[in-house]
Amino acid sequence: MQIFEVIERVEFPFMETKEVIEGVLVSDIISDASDGKVFLLVDHDTKRIWTYNEPQSSLKVQIYGGILAGMLRQQLKLFYRVYPLNMHSQADTEFQELMNKQLGPGRAKSIEEKDFSKKTPDKYIIDTSIQNPHLKKAIEYINQFPQPENLIRRFIIIGGQIFTDEEVTEAFVKEEIISIKPVKLGRLNNGFTLFKDHNYSTRLIIKDRKIQGLELYIKKDDKSTPLELQVPVIYEEKFNKPGSLEDLIRAFKIPDQLPKDNIEEDSTKKE
């Protein structure tokens, strides 16, 4: 197993890798002390290149990591495949197995400035079109990723749709079962939208070179007040309000006799 750290440069090509040779196990390198770094793990046993981003890694360095992982794959003659290690939580078996692998020499080499060809301006036409993913499949894929610790997901943006997490009652006959699911808030306006009511942490989800969605997180202890809307809003009543099951059963029960007040009212009407 070889590990390479993604290094940001000031000048072209603005990125490179440095092989990490200290340590015996992968867990000696990837730990809480390495916060903010991006690593590429080359597993020669399974022919896999794992990308790993720390929770505080900058978006720019994460993008560099994806580019360098592709260059490592080309260097190894395309026999290797690239996988995101962040897909697995630290409690997953596959994550733990990787952490316990021993570091050692391999045929992957650090990517340096000489490995980049000088870019020629306006030589290529780049297709910058973005296709919206299938909504249901995108949500399922996004929810496969473990939630960051000490953060709460406030919004999910997929295409032009925006969602928020909400507690949903799935069953209440035998016992109340509540799960948290994304609930659609609506469609974003044309133009641009600024989210300034909290100090958000953003997570961009990519699959097959397509943006699946953008998640906006806030800290669990965030006490800042959301911005107040300055436009009138009509709120819909929700009919699935939580309530007592005993009250529901009692509502359908036919009483043995009418209350006295009702009997007196009926007699007065007859007279």
- The H-assigned helical ranges of 85-179 are 93-99, 135-142
Say whether both 195 and 147 belong to one domain: yes
Q: How far apart are CA 156 and CA 215, in angstroms?
A: 5
- How do the pLDDT tens digits run along the chain, 271 residues long? 999 999 999 999 999 999 999 889 999 998 766 678 999 999 999 999 999 988 778 888 988 999 999 999 999 988 899 999 988 888 899 999 999 999 999 999 999 999 998 765 544 444 444 567 888 899 999 998 988 888 899 899 998 888 988 877 766 656 667 778 888 888 887 777 778 788 888 898 888 878 899 999 988 888 777 666 555 555 555 555 666 777 767 777 776 766 665 555 555 555 5
Nearest to 151 by CA among 90, 215, 217: 217
Q: What pLDDT sits at residue 14?
A: 92
- Domains in the chain: how many in total? 2
pLDDT at 110: 96
The pLDDT of residue 40: 96
Domain with residue 54: its CATH number is: 3.40.20.10
Compute the distance between CA of residue 163 and CA of residue 181 in angstroms, rounded to an integer: 9
- Asked if 51 and 65 count as a contact pair (C-beta separation under 8 A), the reply is yes
Q: Select from 46, 81, 114 the last residue of a domain.
A: 114
In angstroms, the CA 27 to CA 97 distance is 10
Domain coverage including residue 29: 2-114
CA distance 240 to 217: 27
Same domain, 202 and 157: yes
Q: Say which residue the tokens 């007279």 belong to.
A: 271
Whether residue 110 sits in one domain with residue 34: yes
Q: What is the pLDDT of residue 223?
A: 78
Cβ neighbours of 201 (radius 10 Å): 16
Residues 172 and 223 in one domain: yes
Residue with tokens 């290797």: 80
| Domain membership flag for residue 150 | yes
What is residue 150's predicted lDDT score, i.e. its pLDDT? 85
In a domain, 248, yes or no: no
Residue ending a domain, choose from 84, 114, 144: 114
Asked whether 200 and 224 are in contact (CB, 8 A), the reply is: no
Whether residue 192 lies inside any domain: the answer is yes
Residues 163, 100, single domain; the answer is: no
SS3 202: strand
162: amino acid identity, one letter:
I
Asked if residue 104 and residue 8 are part of one domain, the reply reads: yes
Q: In this structure, what DSSP letter does residue 5 have?
A: E
Contacting residues for 24 by C-beta, under 8 A, at least 6 apart: 102, 103
Cβ–Cβ under 8 Å, residues 214 and 182: no
Residues contacting residue 88 through CB under 8 Å, at least 6 positions apart: 94, 95, 146
Q: Is residue 250 in a domain?
A: no
Same structural domain, 91 and 35: yes
Same domain, 101 and 144: no
Q: Which residue has the tokens 């360095």?
A: 61
Same domain, 68 and 167: no
Q: What pLDDT shows up at residue 185?
A: 83
